[in-house]
Amino acid sequence: MAAQQHDQGAPAMRLGVVVRNMGPASTAETMAGCATAAEDAGLESVWVVDHIAIPPDDAQGSGGRYVDPLIALAWLAGVTRRVRLGVGVLVLPYRPALPVAKQLASLQELSGERLIVGVGVGWMAAEFRALGVDRGRRGAIADETLDLINRCFAGDEVEHRGQRFLFKPRPRKPPVLVGGGAPHALARAARHGDGWLPMAVGPDKFARHMEAYRGFCRSAGRRPGAATVMGALPLDDPPATRAALAAYREAGADRFVHSERYADSGAFAERARALASVVV
């Protein structure tokens, strides 16, 4: 459990890792082996990603194979007991709002409240075309979905489109982290989210964006949430890894989710142990 300790008593940086739910490593056996390896190594969380309709000319690395993220997390919930389960990010405009809220509540309850929900607005034009969704409205759709999710977890009775209904099961709301680094994404995180989820951003840029996020939170009259950073760490250089994590933590991050390619669960387990050995 080295990743969860700190010799000076400061809050430890939470460490997570991406389990590939895409490409040849996304079989049931490999994903299960990776999730249990992460749990055994003492990592705090495992994460999956989201695509629905990859066009052939954008399929390098995945072959167009993507296991649905919420289905993948439900599978991983059943083969683990402690490790938290994250999606980074669930593309909200791809899905109808109320079924998404129901799926999140169901997964949160059945997993023992281990869910972490990263959300985003999406970017791939081909996917929006395949789904018949107006890409120009993706921000508005995401805002509407986030508003409904928050209302659903706030009370057993919800009104939506003029109809009142019971929202059960209603476990404790999972943290909802809004992804993206553009000003409108930071403002969305401040208005609707429980935290912020930037991706592939260096410590210096993260620090600048974190200040902007805090400013948006002040304007919205809300307390800033914690930030989770997704990216790649130089695990073969432990001092550089520690320095990067320390810089992120100093700027306001409380979790880093590492992502890299791997051939099988054995290779994943080796890297998971290397990540867990970093104490920051």
* Continuous H helices in 62-200: 69-79, 97-110, 125-131, 138-154, 183-192
CA distance linking residue 235 with residue 278, whole number of Å: 9
Q: Domain residues for 251?
A: 2-276
Rg of the chain taking only CA atoms, in angstroms: 18
Pairing mode, if any, of strands 163-166 and 176-179? unpaired
**pLDDT for position 1:** 40
Positive or negative, the Cα torsion across 106, 112, 118, 124? negative
Q: How confident is the model at residue 6 (pLDDT cuts 50, 70, 90)?
A: very low
Q: How confident is the model at residue 11 (pLDDT cuts 50, 70, 90)?
A: low
Any bridge partners for residue 262, and if so which? Answer: none
pLDDT digits (tens, 9 = 90+) for 40-70: 999 999 999 999 999 999 899 899 999 999 9
Q: How confident is the model at residue 280 (pLDDT cuts 50, 70, 90)?
A: low
**pLDDT for position 12:** 79
pLDDT digits (tens, 9 = 90+) for 148-192: 999 999 999 999 999 999 999 999 999 999 999 899 999 999 999
**pLDDT for position 279:** 72
**pLDDT for position 162:** 97
What's 161's domain CATH number? 3.20.20.30
- pTM for the model stands at 0.94
**Mean per-residue pLDDT for 25-51?**
98
Looking at residue 66, what DSSP letter applies?
A: B
Average pLDDT over all residues of the chain: 95
CA distance linking residue 126 with residue 49, whole number of Å: 17
Total domains, the chain: 1
Tokens of 189: 């995180």
Judged against a pLDDT cut of 90, whether residue 266 lies above it is answered with yes
**pLDDT for position 2:** 40
* Continuous H helices in 227-264: 238-251
pLDDT digits (tens, 9 = 90+) for 117-133: 999 999 999 999 999 99
